[in-house]
Chains A and B, each alone.
Chain A
Amino acid sequence: MTELKNIRNFSIVAHIDHGKSTLADRLIQMTGTVAERDMKQQLLDAMDIERERGITIKANSVRIEYPAKDGQTYILNLIDTPGHVDFAYEVSRSMQAVEGSLLVVDASQGVEAQTLANVYQAIEADHEIVPVLNKIDLPAAEPDRVRENIEDVIGIDATDAVEISAKTGLGIPDVLEAIVTRLPAPEGDRDAPLKAMLVDSWYDPYLGVVVMIRVIDGVIKKGDQIKMMQTGASYRLDKLAVLKPQMIDIPELGPGEIGVFTASIKQVRDTKVGDTITHDKKPCDKPLPGFKPSVPVVFCGLFPVDANDFESLRDAIEKLQLNDASFSSEMETSAALGFGFRCGFLGLLHLEVIRDRLEREYDLDLITTAPSVVYHVHMKDGTQQDLHNPADMPDLTYVDHVEEPRIKATIMVPDEYLGDVLKLCQDRRGIQLDLTYAGTRAMVVYDLPLNEVVFDFYDRLKSVTKGYASFDYQFTEYRQDNLVKMQVLVNEEPVDALSMMVHRDRAEQRGRAMCEKLKELIPRHMFKIPIQAAIGGKVIARETLSAMRKDVTAKCYGGDATRKKKLLEKQKAGKKKMRQFGKVEIPQSAFISALKMDD
């Protein structure tokens, strides 16, 4: 049990690549929390994908013991949070569990869009914020300019920003001292009934569900009978531990402390992040306010390339859901792609991460259909439907209007690329809300439809700015617009997998692009094939795939019969693997490429 005054709880806010995980690694290393031989990079990022992509997906925590210059030993609890917008909900709840933040900014680059979003969450959570200028050893580092930049853009005092190089270890002792001297100690009452916040939970194959908590008041001990106030469920604690970052058993946790427990909980779904944990017998009187559950905003179909893998895909999705309650799935059937799942994600990165994990950890080959957002379809009879899949769009005669999710996007970009960024946003039906400068970097804020962003916005932004732009967004509202379902017809037959919701003004362009692409992707047949994009019954774009003109073996004599026949038989077998639409056979690869729409 640690005195409140000797505890500091904090998180680190940073843009991707600005050195958050490296700084965390250094803090752990310099305090001897992890033996030198066990040190590895991005220690807190357990998943392969986190290490590979250099990102943090799941929150994690580490308890550090630090003997400070004042002669006392402090317990520092670091909660490492994801930096990406998709996982903003993880950030916001982790912020509630700590009292202060280190704001890490790359001393050569300055504040980026993601930093901004996360630092505002820290400010909202009433955090004390210590600015840290990283990569100070780089020749391009401009600490003074970046200090000014922090003050201009974020509006906090950066005079006493700590200058460090997380890579070389320079300035790390100053960071540790700043945590102790500048961040506040937690408050709480050891004698009050137990009140702890459920910060996060995850599934461990050996231990079952592991729950991370922050104790507010009271004391929690191993063997306690506890109650989750929102769900009402009651459990007996099997194990109580702190993370260093591996689990170290501890007899009890008091106010201000952060730790984990297990209690024979079967699935992550049984735990609600933000829930209040108290004692079954002697509960606290008022629960914590809790968090809004995260809701999937981006949907796509996931289909096995090999139809025989459907059951394996189902198993894999169920297993991943044990650990990630924010990802939803329901079975879907497509004439083009067979059996699969319509899955919902928190954003595009979340989608990619889940897909990568399914393919990698479960060895599946998947087809991902074009991502789409959730539309609100208001029917003439006054009811409202959530549309997750364009193929399910009701008949227009019953539809009154359609609303789509809008976002507020913040983009920071060197001014030489500003024109291209503005054009991109404008093309994507954006409405400019703000444009300001900080030195040679511009910050633009746009109101954009989310569906234009999930499509290929990141890629386009990256390519028009040569990777120099940073981007972040938050959901704002649902708004009515002229949204229609565009169907694709191949030889007059609708192809469900290629249906998409588009804005009426963008429909022709999208339709043309799709038809042109399909014309390249569908093999010629013995007859010509019209490829059309249509809204309702109206054709808005059309291409014609001409009939096969020549496909004949020039030489075929006695010695060729066996070989040539095998070839034709193989081709015939290949035809069987194609999807049949009326008389037209379309290879599965054509769908995959058409749905990518990476132009």
Chain B
Amino acid sequence: MADDWQNGGFGLYVHWPFCQAKCPYCDFNSHVAASIDQTRWRDAYLSEIKRISDLVPGRTLNTIFFGGGTPSLMQPEVVADIIDAARAAWPTANDMEITLEANPTSVEAGRFQGYREAGVNRVSMGVQSLNDDDLRRLGRLHSVAEARKAFDIARNTFDRVSFDLIYARQDQTPDQWVAELREALSMAIDHLSLYQLTIEAGTAFGDRYDRGLLRGLPDEDSAGDMYFLTQEICDAAGLPAYEVSNHARPGSESRHNKIYWRYGDYAGIGPGAHGRLTFNGQRHAIDTALAPGKWLETVEKTGNGDQSCTPLTGFDQAGEYMMMGLRLRDGISVNRYESLLGQPIANTEELESLGMIEHSGDQLKTTDQGRAVLNAVIRELLPDSEGA
């Protein structure tokens, strides 16, 4: 019998933890460092790739994703070495997707050609806003004009370019967002990530919010309006949502991210990277040390950057599959979910009668309505604690 991960594929995530500045809304593992010895980092990544490929050898690698932090601060040679090492470690798909996250500044755009030559075939740009005031409020170092210029260079360099926008920002009205979104759609090639601003604990915004200093955030109703307007406008523009916050022309979805949502296997390397890897017939949840220096030293000294590697029960996997899978418009396979859980799915009738979910063959999907309140839907559907 095939392992469950094969339903989702296999990808490699490379975390580059450094940024030029920390954005106030960002809760990702990113750090600002004065100087970085990129050779040392390269060696550590290569050593991790080798180690993991010994653990899960011979499987086809579908995707590589350079995330961060700001991976567009990596030297193209380092990116090239990592891609080459991955290609050497696993058989790769012919159409392997290799994505790199980039900040839309001129400095970084200057490296695009190098990344392309290294093998990168898709970039995802953190444009975040098409409004200079808001870019400043979001703590971004680029201007709209600079972003547009960088975006043009990217689209001339790569076939596939996506960019991110953050909405439901401070003092943003639905009308303003609609105008900005239309402008974004006129630039877009085949993929857009549209995120509602989320105030995360432990960020500068989170701190300001707790002290009552982050004013003008839309309330639930007006944030809801913006969300539904976004769906409507993107559908009409031919970039429907295939996931809660991700929109693409059919066929241009991020294959790497879909591995997460389809609950495939992924190796995560770099500080704070997470992985799900099936070996010896058992899926494991893996994480690494958060602090860049600590991860680097651990890899150099012990040859293993993992901080923990925990076997996941069927119950755990079922919960993760549901939580990730229902984010996709395609939903989850009930058979697959039930065979992970070892018992039938529960509590669907009420949600179905409320119009939050629907069945289509073996697939269980959220409706547009249900996806907007996905957390509530998942709270209902998540299996009760094990044995209960």
Enumerate chain A interface residues (CB-CB to B < 8 A): 524-527, 546, 548-559, 561-562, 564-565, 568-569, 571-573, 575, 583
Contact = CB atoms under 8 A, between A and B. Distances in A.
**Most chain B CB neighbours (cut-off 10 Å) among A524, A525, A562, A564:** A562
A553 B375 CA distance: 7
Interface in B10-63: 13, 15, 28-29
A524 B274 CA distance: 34
Contacts of B320: 561, 565
Contacts of B266: 558
Contacts of B196: 550, 554
B195 interface: yes
Interface in B354-376: 354, 356, 371-376
Given A550-B196, A554-B196, 6 more contacts: A526-B356, A549-B224, A558-B260, A561-B260, A564-B323, A568-B382
A553 B323 CA distance: 11
Contacts of B123: none
Contact of B379 (A527, A554, A561, A575): A575
**Most chain B CB neighbours (cut-off 10 Å) among A525, A569, A571:** A569
B273 A550 contact: no
B272 A551 contact: no
Contacts of B268: 558-559
A565 B319 contact: yes
Contacts of B175: none
A550 B376 CA distance: 9
Contacts of B350: 583
A556 B327 contact: yes
A548 to B, nearest CB: 5
A548 B376 contact: yes
B354 A558 contact: no
B106 interface: no
Contacts of A568: 323, 375, 378-379, 382
A9 to B, nearest CB: 61
Interface in B122-159: none
B382 A552 contact: no
Contacts of A552: 227, 244, 371-375
Interface in B219-262: 220-221, 223-224, 227, 244-245, 257, 259-260
Interface in B106-129: none
Nearest to A562: B285
Contacts of A554: 195-198, 244-245
B289 interface: no
A559 B266 CA distance: 10
B375 A549 contact: no
20 contacts: A549-B223, A549-B224, A549-B372, A550-B223, A551-B374, A552-B375, A553-B244, A555-B198, A556-B244, A557-B257, A557-B260, A558-B13, A558-B276, A559-B268, A559-B272, A559-B273, A561-B276, A562-B287, A565-B319, A571-B375
A556 B373 contact: no
**Most chain A CB neighbours (cut-off 10 Å) among B275, B276, B376:** B376
A573 B385 CA distance: 9
Nearest to B263: A561
A548 B227 CA distance: 13
Nearest to B382: A572
